[in-house]
Structure 1
Amino acid sequence: MLIEKQRWAGIQDGSITVLFRRWRHRHATAGKVYRTGAGRIVVEQAEIVAPSRIRAKDAHAAGYGSAAQVLADLRGAEGDPIYLLRIRLADGPDPRAELASDDQLSDEDIASLTARLARMDTSSSFGPWTIRTLRLIEELPATRAPDLAARLGREPDRFKVDVRKLKALGLTSSLEVGYELSPRGRAYLAGH
């Protein structure tokens, strides 16, 4: 979920507990945790609200001075529903970050990762990509995703989706620009 940078500090300190979005289709579900620039957030409630029913209290909880300011700031098509999301920071550390920092891989861990990567390679429409991508990120950390994708002859958006799959396994980390191997990713490649 994308959250405007000017809202990050308020979400982190708890002063922003509401987000408003104009979406054609729901993009967030109550009870789910989303990774955002502000950190991991829990959406506690997600409901459609009529513009005339936006309360001043909720506008203030979203960091606005009034409901009119909320409406003026909303993106999207005018006729699309407005969603009110009640949010909070997720408790505890990001499990994905904890996984990525674990560089003590057992033989079982390596076998499990190897099997998962093999399944990703097998299901790919363009052939094996996982190890090539990890090696490229190892060689060129902090390189823009489109530049990495071009080196592999890949389309940038699809490449980014695939790198997120590697990140979900704890093998890569995102940087301000590009990626790097995580400690877990370096340990895996060293044992592979």
Structure 2
Amino acid sequence: MLFRHEVLTKIAAGEVDLAFRRWRRPAVRPGTRLRTRVGVLEVGEVEVVPEDRVSDRDARRAGYPGRTELLADQRPGEDRQLYRVDLRFAGPDPRVDLRRDTDLSTADLDGIVAELRRLDARSGRGPWTTAMLELIDANPAVRAPDLAAGLGRETARFKADVRKLKERGLTESLAVGYRISPRGRLVLDHLTRTAPD
């Protein structure tokens, strides 16, 4: 589920606690946790609702001025149903603290490197994690499509790989592009020091 930044801000502030989406089938289930720019959102009840049951109050709870604007913003299609999704702000993104955590022993760093090596081994295209960290370190705040094009890769797959590094606290997203995190800096320095000659 994607949200505009202003809606995310209102969810974090407790001003928005509903979302409406027209889907062929639900894209989220109760209990799903979504990581966003403002923190973690938790999905509550997900139910199909007829349009005539959507009130102006519901629309305001979803961040719209009224039901007319909410319904006009929904994806068209006879094969789609309107879903009402309860939301709540569940707290800050745990990756924020992780990427700032630089209290790492040599054994911790070796463990992270071993995990990166496993990612490399499963990729089907060979080692990529160190090269990706080096690329982001050398090109902070560069658009993902530009970085992907420089590698001859499709943007969506490139972003999926960056997310794998982000999950481990090694990179962080900026308004445009990415940068290496303090934790990522330690790991990259460790990789450089321990690389075979």
Partner of 1:49: 49
Partner of 2:19: 19
Check the 8 A contact 1:2/1:37 in 2, yes or no: no
Check the 8 A contact 1:3/1:37 in 2, yes or no: no
CA distance, structure 1, for counterparts of residue 137 and residue 38 of structure 2: 27
TM-score (norm 1): 0.91
Counterpart mapping for 1:1-192 below 5 A: 1-91=1-91, 93-192=92-191
Taking only aligned residues, the RMSD between alpha carbons, in angstroms, comes to 1.7
Cα distance change, pair 76–160 in 1 and its aligned pair in 2 (3 A) = farther
Moved more, 138-147 or 28-37: 28-37
CA distance, structure 2, for counterparts of residue 65 and residue 41 of structure 1: 22
Partner deviation per Cα, 1:46-100 (whole Å, 9 max, x = no partner): 1111222223432231133443332222124243011111111113x32111111
Partner deviation per Cα, 1:1-42 (whole Å, 9 max, x = no partner): 311234233223212111101112211221122122443211
Q: Which secondary structure state, in structure 1, belongs to the residue aligned with residue 179 of structure 2?
A: strand
Q: Which secondary structure state, in structure 2, belongs to the residue aligned with residue 90 of structure 1?
A: strand
Cα distance change, pair 27–18 in 1 and its aligned pair in 2 (3 A) = same
| Letter of the structure 2 residue corresponding to residue 58 of structure 1 | D
CA distance, structure 2, for counterparts of residue 121 and residue 8 of structure 1: 34
Check the 8 A contact 2:165/2:171 in 1, yes or no: yes
Cα distance change, pair 100–68 in 1 and its aligned pair in 2 (3 A) = same
Gap regions ≥5 residues in structure 1: none
TM-score (norm 2): 0.88
CA distance, structure 2, for counterparts of residue 137 and residue 43 of structure 1: 32
Partner deviation per Cα, 1:74-129 (whole Å, 9 max, x = no partner): 124243011111111113x3211111111121122212211111111111122111
User: Percent same amino acid among aligned pairs?
Assistant: 46
